[in-house]
C-alpha cells in the first residue's frame, strides 16, 4: 500500500505536484499596431503612386518632389484627423451606452440580473452555479455595470487619450511611409531615373513592412510581405499607366 501513496492506479497524483510556471505571451498593443499599419501602408502606397503617375507624365523631379511632399503633408493631416474622429466617436458611443446601461440597472434591476444569467448560461453554467455571481454583482453596481458593458454589449472602455494618440500615430506613420518613395527624387534630377530607383526602394520597403505586419498580426509573414508589395505595385502601375494614357491623348 505504501507504494501506492503517491500514485493512483499506477498514475501519479497531479495534486501533489507544484503548479509549473507558465509565462503568458499575449500582444496587447493591437490598436497602436493598427494605426501604424494604416499610416505606413497608405504612406508607402499613395505618394508612390502619385510620383509614378507624375513621372509617367514626364514631369521633372523637382515637380514630382514638390507634389509628393504636398501630398504627404495633406495625407498625414487627413489620415490623422480621420483617426482622431474615429477614436472620439468610439469613446462617445461607449459613454452613451454606459449611461443607458446604468439607467437600466437602476430602473429594471431584475431584468438586468436575469440578463447576467443568460450570459452565464451561454458558457455552460447552471443557475445554481452562476447564482452567487449574480448576487455578488448586484451588491457591487460598478462591477455590475462593467460586466454588462463588456459581456452584454461587447464594449471595452476606451483610453481617454486614445483619440490624440491615434491621430499622432497615424499621421507620423504616414509621413515616414510617404517619404520613402520620394527620397530618390531628392537626389536624382531625371524623373525617369528617379522613378526606377523609387520603384526598387519602395518595393523593398513594402516587402519589409508587409513581413513585419505579418509577424505582429499573426499572419504568415512572407505571404503578408508579397501581398503588401503587390498592392503597392498595382497602385503605382495604374497611376503610371493613366498618366501615360492621358499624355498620349
pLDDT of residue 222: 86
CA nearest neighbour of 230 among 55, 99, 25, 45: 45
pLDDT at 72: 93
CA dihedral 163, 169, 170, 176 (to 10 degrees): 160
CB neighbour list of residue 93: distance below 8 Å, 6 or more residues apart: 155
DSSP code at position 16: G
- Average pLDDT across each block of 10 residues of the chain; the chain has 249 residues. List them in order: 45 48 53 84 84 79 90 93 91 90 86 84 80 84 86 82 91 93 89 86 87 77 85 75 69
Provide the pLDDT for residue 229.
Answer: 83
C-alpha 97/C-alpha 94 separation (Å) is 5
pTM of this structure: 0.72
Burial of 9 (0-12, 13-18, 19+ CB in 10 A): exposed
pLDDT at 3: 45
- Pairing label, strands 7-8, 11-12: antiparallel
**Residue 8 backbone dihedrals phi, psi, to 5 degrees:** -130, 105
Q: What is the 3-state secondary structure (H, E, C) of 181-248?
A: CCHHHHHCCCHHHHHHHHHHHHHHHHHHHHHHHHHHHCCCHHHHHHHHHHHHHHHHHHHHHHHHHHHH
**In terms of Cα–Cα distance, which of 72, 68, 51, 69 is closest to 192?**
51
Cβ-based neighbours of 92, under 8 Å, separated by 6 or more: none
The Cα–Cα gap between 221 and 210 comes to 7
Q: How far is CA 64 from CA 22, 113, 197, 200, in A?
A: 55, 64, 14, 17
Give me the pLDDT at residue 13, please: 47
Helix (H, G, I), strand (E, B) or coil at 67: helix
Q: What is the pLDDT of residue 248?
A: 63
Per-residue model confidence (pLDDT) at position 196: 87
Amino acid at each position: 500500500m505504501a507504494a501506492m501513496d503517491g500514485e493512483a492506479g499506477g498514475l501519479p497524483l497531479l495534486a501533489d505536484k507544484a503548479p509549473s510556471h507558465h509565462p503568458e505571451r499575449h500582444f496587447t498593443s493591437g490598436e497602436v499596431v493598427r494605426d501604424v499599419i494604416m499610416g505606413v501602408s497608405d504612406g508607402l502606397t499613395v505618394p508612390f503612386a502619385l510620383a509614378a503617375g507624375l513621372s509617367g507624365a514626364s514631369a521633372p523631379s523637382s515637380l514630382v518632389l514638390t507634389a509628393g511632399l504636398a501630398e504627404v503633408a495633406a495625407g498625414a493631416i487627413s489620415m490623422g484627423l480621420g483617426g482622431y474622429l474615429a477614436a472620439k466617436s468610439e469613446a462617445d458611443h461607449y459613454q452613451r451606452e454606459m449611461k443607458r446601461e446604468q439607467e437600466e440597472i437602476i430602473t429594471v434591476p431584475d431584468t438586468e440580473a436575469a440578463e447576467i444569467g443568460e450570459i452565464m448560461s451561454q458558457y455552460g453554467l447552471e443557475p445554481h452555479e452562476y447564482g452567487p455571481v449574480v448576487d455578488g454583482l448586484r451588491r457591487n453596481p460598478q462591477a455590475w455595470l462593467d460586466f454588462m458593458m463588456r459581456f452584454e454589449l461587447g464594449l471595452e472602455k476606451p483610453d481617454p487619450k486614445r483619440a490624440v494618440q491615434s491621430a499622432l500615430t497615424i499621421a507620423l506613420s504616414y509621413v515616414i511611409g510617404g517619404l520613402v518613395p520620394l527620397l530618390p527624387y531628392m537626389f536624382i534630377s531625371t524623373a525617369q531615373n528617379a522613378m526606377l530607383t523609387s520603384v526598387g526602394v519602395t518595393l523593398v520597403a513594402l516587402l519589409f513592412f508587409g513581413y513585419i505586419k505579418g509577424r505582429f498580426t499573426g499572419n504568415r509573414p512572407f505571404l503578408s510581405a508579397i501581398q503588401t508589395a503587390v498592392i503597392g505595385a498595382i497602385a503605382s502601375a495604374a497611376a503610371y499607366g493613366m498618366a501615360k494614357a492621358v499624355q498620349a491623348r
